[in-house]
């Protein structure tokens, strides 16, 4: 069956890391090996002479960080790969979380100098919640870093996952000579002066072979023999099943900036990473082999091309076959939509697609029909779950600085919050003032910048003294209405019109929970709705 064949040759994954671990550089080198691009965005020197392919927003290019998930597709050795490059900055962790709902596995990048960092642990917590298979790439071996065994211990301890090295570094920093590939007993030699994608591989069937001293020197040969003996004695043999169950992480070493160690990982990735997996809905599990199409929107991005002011909804195909110009059912709106120009992406470059299969990520041109989490089907009423909004950590009042551009500001803030850049709450009983909730300060900078440059609207933000946003629900509709009336100054509605309580402190939230036991306070927007949550 054609559909099953297409499913089996697809791999959909995200690259995640702490900021500055080399995630975007690794993304580009994977694209280089896949033949999708010919020139990397960053050069070896400290000066960035060309911007990264996957960072297409002006603010990303100016600041040198990724603040939006980029979606890219390429083919490698007959496998069709959907790669999602996520923001590394902690202020955009919610965008990363949503992206992880759309992939079947991840590659986690670790800086060999800094090891496991705070954001790494948070991202891994999300992977553990979903039992997402993880491959670990320890990067920057051309720099002086931590002892590899110490890094492995730290990975197991802090990330709470068993590891198994599949490649092993021979020295590091200025002395870095290459990696020994434990899975096929060969050595890939490193040459710091090579910027082309080349292989310099020597097969060593037996580490006792005298040629090893000739290749890497007696001291390093003896050290490698000791290291490999310890690895084989301490770590279990690699097994694909615990990896796919999210319990075991294979580890590779290399230097993404120098195109080194990346191909070994990519070759193993296409062999062991899972093909598209089933997805849970509010009513049943949807399997990729099902005949009828279904999919969900996990990201929305406006103005990918500022010249055309386009708005793209990124849809993960979950089952069946998506076809261009075919009508599909928008479950939330209960309306039929068809798409004449569905696209796949290479960062900002788009290609029109006729068909897409489970695992594929398709960009749908959107005139305002979609919100994050929306489901498309061939008629079945179901809703994919696992894409909630979380309570923000910082709240600020949005103030319009140019009344002549009120419409532009309204449109801009609506579209940006539809994208998930931040959350929008309206206090209708207090003059319909708009409160923006975000995880970090950088999100407000991005909103201000994009409103000014993409919508020609000027604004400022005033801090608000709120601790947490809680979505309200109750089995007693009158009790909920009474609470909303009494606490009007702390009540807002989210973009869906659902009531939200803005608590000013942890003590006040606890106090309200005690005083109003019939009202439920939820810190995520996705909860079991056996109770009313409307006015």
* Domain range summary for the chain, segments of one domain joined by +: 2-173+240-272, 280-377, 394-522
Torsion region of 450: left, alpha or beta (phi above 0 gives left; psi -120 to 50 gives alpha): alpha
Alpha carbons 382 and 331: distance in angstroms, whole number: 7
Name the pairing type of β-strands 343-346 and 349-352.
Answer: antiparallel
Q: Angle 148-159/118-130 helices, nearest 10 degrees?
A: 50
Taking every pair of Cα atoms in the chain, the longest distance, rounded to a whole number of angstroms, is: 83
Distance, C-alpha 267 to centroid of its chain: 22
Alpha carbon distance 300, 315 (integer Å): 9
Give 397-457 as a DSSP string.
EEEES-GGGHHHHHHHHHHHHHHTSSEEEEEGGGTTEEEEEESSHHHHHHHHHHHHHHH--
pLDDT score, position 199? 52
CB-based contacts of 501: which residues, under 8 Å, 6+ apart?
469, 470, 472, 483, 487, 490, 491, 509, 512, 521
pLDDT at 386: 79
Structure tokens at 496: 């869906």
Question: What is the end-to-end Cα distance of the chain in Å, rounded?
Answer: 50
Q: What is the pLDDT of residue 162?
A: 96
The pTM score is 0.81
pLDDT for the residue 350 = 73
d(CA 178, CA 383): 49
Separation CA 307–CA 535 (nearest Å):
42
Helix 148-159 crosses helix 218-234 at what angle (to 10 degrees)? 30
Q: What is the rounded distance in angstroms from the CA atom of residue 60 to the CA atom of residue 56? A: 7
- In sequence order, what DSSP letters do the residues of 345-372 get, joined into one string? EETTEEEE-SEE-TT-EEEEE-SS---T
Total residue length of the chain: 535
What's the CATH superfamily of 2-173+240-272? P-loop containing nucleotide triphosphate hydrolases (3.40.50.300)
Closest CA to 56 of 32, 27, 34, 99: 27
CA atoms within 13 A on the CB side of 471: 23
380 to 2, 331, 361, 377, 398: CA distances (angstroms):
23, 8, 21, 6, 39
Per-block mean pLDDT, blocks of 10 residues, the chain (535 long): 86 89 87 69 36 48 46 89 73 69 95 90 84 96 94 96 95 91 87 55 76 89 94 93 96 91 93 96 95 93 60 92 97 95 72 93 89 93 84 92 93 85 86 87 87 92 94 93 94 92 95 95 70 41
280-377 and 394-522 in the same fold: no
Right CATH number for 394-522 from 1.10.3720.10, 3.30.70.3280, 3.40.50.2300, 1.25.40.10? 3.30.70.3280
280-377, superfamily in CATH? P-loop containing nucleotide triphosphate hydrolases (3.40.50.300)
At 188 the pLDDT is 85
Partners of residue 81 on adjacent β-strands? 11, 74
Output DSSP code: residue 207.
Answer: T
What tokens does 368 get?
A: 């305002």
Pair of tokens at residue 351: 């290609």
Token digits of residue 204: 């060593």
Q: Which of 293, 431, 421 is nearest to 358 (CA)?
A: 293
C-alpha distance from residue 293 to each of 3, 98, 300, 328 (Å)? 11, 21, 20, 9
Instruction: Return the pLDDT at 46.
Output: 34
Number of neighbours of residue 214 by Cβ within 10 angstroms: 11
Q: What is the pLDDT of residue 358?
A: 97
């Amino acid at each position: 069956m054609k559909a099953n064949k297409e499913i089996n040759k697809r791999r959909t994954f995200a690259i995640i890391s702490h900021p500055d671990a080399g995630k975007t550089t690794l993304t580009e080198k994977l694209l280089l090996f896949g033949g999708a691009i010919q020139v990397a965005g960053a050069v070896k020197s400290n000066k960035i002479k060309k911007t990264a392919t996957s960072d297409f927003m002006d603010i990303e290019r100016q600041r040198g960080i990724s603040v939006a998930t980029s979606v890219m597709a390429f083919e490698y050795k007959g496998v069709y790969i959907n790669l999602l490059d996520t923001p590394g900055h902690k202020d955009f962790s919610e965008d990363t979380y949503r992206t992880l709902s759309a992939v079947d596995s991840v590659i986690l990048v670790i800086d060999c100098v800094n090891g496991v960092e705070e954001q790494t642990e948070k991202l891994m917590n999300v992977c553990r919640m979903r039992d997402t298979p993880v491959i670990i790439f320890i990067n920057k071996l051309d720099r002086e870093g931590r002892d590899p065994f110490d890094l492995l211990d730290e990975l197991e301890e802090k990330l709470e996952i068993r590891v198994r090295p599949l490649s092993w570094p021979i020295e590091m920093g200025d002395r870095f000579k290459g990696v020994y590939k434990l899975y096929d007993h060969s050595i890939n030699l490193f040459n710091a002066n090579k910027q082309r994608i080349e292989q310099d591989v020597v097969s060593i069937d037996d580490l006792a072979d005298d040629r090893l001293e000739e290749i890497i020197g007696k001291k390093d040969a003896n050290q490698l023999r000791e290291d490999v003996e310890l690895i084989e004695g301490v770590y279990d043999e690699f097994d694909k099943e615990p990896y796919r169950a999210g319990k075991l992480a294979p580890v590779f070493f290399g230097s993404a900036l120098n195109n080194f160690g990346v191909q070994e990982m990519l070759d193993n990735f296409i062999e062991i990473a899972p093909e598209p997996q089933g997805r849970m809905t509010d009513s049943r599990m949807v399997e990729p082999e099902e005949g009828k199409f279904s999919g969900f929107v996990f990201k929305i991005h406006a103005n990918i091309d500022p010249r055309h002011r386009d708005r793209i909804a990124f849809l993960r195909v979950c089952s069946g076959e998506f076809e261009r110009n075919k009508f599909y059912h928008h479950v939330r709106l209960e309306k039929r939509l068809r798409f004449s120009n569905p696209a796949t992406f290479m960062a900002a470059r788009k290609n029109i697609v006729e068909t897409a299969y489970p695992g594929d990520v398709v960009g749908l041109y959107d005139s305002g029909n979609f919100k994050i989490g929306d489901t498309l089907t061939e008629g079945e009423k179901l809703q994919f779950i696992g894409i909630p909004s979380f309570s923000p950590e910082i709240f600020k009042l949005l103030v319009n600085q140019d009344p002549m551009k009120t419409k532009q500001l309204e449109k801009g803030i609506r579209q940006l919050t539809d994208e998930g850049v931040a959350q929008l709450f309206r206090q209708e009983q207090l003059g319909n003032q708009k409160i923006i909730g975000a995880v970090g300060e950088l999100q407000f900078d991005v909103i201000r910048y994009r409103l000014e440059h993409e919508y020609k609207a000027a604004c400022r933000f005033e801090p608000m003294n709120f601790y947490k946003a809680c979505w309200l629900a109750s089995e007693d509709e009158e009790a909920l209405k009474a609470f909303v009336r009494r606490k009007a100054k702390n009540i807002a509605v989210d973009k869906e019109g659902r009531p939200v309580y803005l608590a000013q402190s942890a003590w006040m939230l606890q106090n309200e929970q005690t005083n109003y036991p019939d009202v439920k306070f939820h810190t995520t927007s996705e909860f079991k709705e056996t109770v009313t949550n409307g006015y």
